[in-house]
Structure 1
């Protein structure tokens, strides 16, 4: 297995910049329902744009639907006044548990809480901070004034 490209290298920064324009809409073949979109947005926000693959987006759509389903099931046991209806809650507990397990499984599949996929958490945090800075317009090469790298517009 090849090593992950260092994010603090010029090549790594360029690949993140290129990937930051990627469309992160739900895949066309997987339809999100009306109430799924807030969950989709929160799932997508958990990783930098440059880390999402097409396969990840499909899993993210399933995760968003499962999270919306869990919220819907949880809302069955709450009346209009915000009070919990214990009988209804007890009737939905098995379904809530199944949805919670599905959510955890899908999150692991996306590597949102999986050390094996992304490495040690301290390294993941550094890499993601760097990627977010680059995606936000910070150019890590701007402080590099040794003139060893060509800059766009400087070559005539």
Structure 2
């Protein structure tokens, strides 16, 4: 028995509307019990925008926060050092765990990738002010 609700098709009008609405919102916030330091915040924003907004659950968000902190630490680690190697392996494992790696966002997970693409396009489409658009208030 499947416990999760059925997902909308990524090529439907409902998915396009949901992607446009999600693109109008700011990036997801980390869970209250997880610390994302200010210097790791750009990594957090990029990570949570790699998947459609409605596919994130609390456990994935906690793992995304860990990945953001690891990527921030990677910036400071000397390339080729033991710390850099360990952090790189950890980052790769976390990207696979939360499905923001290349295979998940572009490859096999076609529905997630198409949904993310719809959201990305909606976020980039400023258009003109003659056509009304959905915006967060």
Report TM bin, short chain.
0.5 to 0.7
Q: Which residue of 2 aligns with 1:24?
A: 28
Query: Could you tell me which of 98, 112, 118 is aligned with 2:86?
Result: 98
RMSD: 3.4
For structure 2, which runs of at least 5 residues remain unmatched after alignment? 126-137
TM-score (norm 1): 0.58
Query: Could you tell me which of 44, 47, 50 is aligned with 1:46?
Result: 50
Choose between structure 1 and 2 for higher RCO, CA contacts under 8 A separated by at least 6 residues. Answer: 2
CA distance in 2 between partners of 1:33 and 1:98 (Å): 21
For structure 1, which runs of at least 5 residues remain unmatched after alignment? 75-88, 138-156
Q: How does 1:5-154 map to 2 (within 5 A)?
A: 5-13=8-16, 16=19, 21=25, 24-74=28-78, 93-113=81-101, 115=103, 120=108, 123-133=111-121
Q: Is this contact kept in 1: 2:70–2:91, CA < 8 A?
A: yes
* Deviations 1:61-89, CA, capped at 9 Å, x for gaps: 10011111111223xxxxxxxxxxxxxx6
Rg larger in 1 or in 2?
1
TM-score (norm 2): 0.65
Count of equivalent residues: 122
